[in-house]
Amino acid sequence: MLTLSGAEHQGWAASTYGGYLLEHILAWQGRRDAHACSYHWPVDAEVREWPTWPAFLIDLLPQGFGRQELLRQLGLPQRDSQNNDWALLLAGAGNPIGSMRIKEAYEWLAQHRPAQPHGFSKDAVARRHEDFVEYLADHGLFVAGSSGVQGEWPKILLTEATDGLLYLDHLLPDEQARQHWLVKFSRVEQPALHRILEAEGRYMECARHLGLRVHALPVNHAGALFIPRFDRHTANGKVQRIAQESLASLCQRAGFGIAVTHNDACSAIAQATTVPLTEVIEYLKRDVANVVRGNKDNHARNTAIQRDTSGHIRLTPLYDFATMYLHPDGIARLSRWRQDDHGGQPDWLSAANQAALAANLPLEPLLDALKELAVSLATLGDVMTAQHIDPEIIDRVTGAANKTAATLRAL
């Protein structure tokens, strides 16, 4: 249970306090895995106080297109401010990514549930067929939990049923679920954003080639990107919901536009995860890949950990891995190394040293992992060509990959 102690109009900056219910404490005392709201809020009897919202709560707060849609549905001013945060949380966090939900928002969704769920084909969704668009207009994108999906593109959470049709995520009973999808719709009115989304699915095959942790490859269908979700597992008519927590939350940073240094990230990841060396290596390799691939949108909510019910904690599979250097707003690299980041072109020997020191890990395995990555970088251009990625993107990335591979081989 969590309650505001500050004023609601302060939004996420309002002070809060909270504690676990007695029966939950008796069952899961001391756990920091999926049974806890956050790694930094283990299950215990202590009543905690925070000067703002706890950072994990902000992970649930609607952002992007979903936030604007929810403002409209609630009749709140479209000129948005953090004054609306509490109202948006209580209506829009009923079915977010991960395993946690806000009770009031879940009940709000139940009250606005359509009498009869309607399924749509993948083609009707991708092409935004008239019936599908009208259905969303009747019930609102956020009804499916899309308001809990943060980011730049219009997105919606859909569940594929055993009948092969796609339903708004929260409407389908678990026993009928076969596959869970996050669908991103292209913004064709902005060519640069359209190119970014078009390449994102193919980028995941490149990430797999580089040995990064990839869940499943997205499917590009008629301009929409269907991304298999890794926070949902279906088996034998049951759905397991995996707890997910952003790097911003893991580093206990409330607010937005969070600048978490890679040093702080490595320290937090090593402290929290079950196998620290594996996870810090994965994090370091992702930074190399982001630099080479021009994915500058590396803020602290584009990396997350997942916590299961068995006590295992690790980084989630990679997500939002895209050609963000194409963005018309000129996005800058937000998370950087404290030393030798060199305007987004890090000294990788220094970066490995900093990661090892921050995580209290030996340096040699990190260097070995980077040398191994060099082998994959040298053949990245061939993989990109096989994926039919835009030749202009291939030229840019291949040059960066070859240069970085030579640097890593020499470590």
Residue 150 confidence (pLDDT) = 47
Residue 177 confidence (pLDDT) = 94
For the domain made up of 243-409, give the CATH fold: 1.10.1070
Residue 85 confidence (pLDDT) = 93
Three-state DSSP string of the chain: CEEECCCHHHHHHCCEEECCCHHHHHHHCCCCCCCCCECCECCCCCCEEECCCCHHHHCCCCCHHHHHHHHHHHCCCCCCCHHHHHHHHHHHCCCCCCCCCCHHHHHHHHHCCCCCCCCECHHHHHCCCHHHHHHHHHHCHHHHCHHHCCCCCCEEEEEEECCCCEEEHHHCCHHHEEEEEEEECCCCCCHHHHHHHHHHHHHHHHHHHCCCCCCCCCEEECCEEEEECCCEEEECCEEEECEEEEHHHHCCCCCCCCCCCHHHHHHHHHHHCCCHHHHHHHHHHHHHHHHHHCCCCCCCCCCEEEECCCCCEEECCCCCCCCHHHCCCCCCCCCCCCCCCHHHCCCHHHHHHHHHHHHCCCHHHHHHHHHHHHHHHHCHHHHHHHCCCCHHHHHHHHHHHHHHHHHHHCC
Residue 112 confidence (pLDDT) = 77
Residue 328 confidence (pLDDT) = 62
* Mean pLDDT per 10-residue interval, the chain, length 411 residues: 94 96 97 97 97 95 79 79 91 91 91 81 85 72 41 77 92 92 79 77 92 94 91 92 96 86 98 98 97 85 94 95 71 87 94 98 98 97 92 92 96 92
Residue 147 confidence (pLDDT) = 39
Residue 329 confidence (pLDDT) = 64
Residue 140 confidence (pLDDT) = 55
Q: Taking the domains of the chain in order of start, what are their residue ranges?
A: 2-53, 243-409
* 164-211 per-position pLDDT tens digit: 999 988 888 899 999 999 998 876 667 777 777 888 888 899 999 999
| pTM for the structure as a whole | 0.92
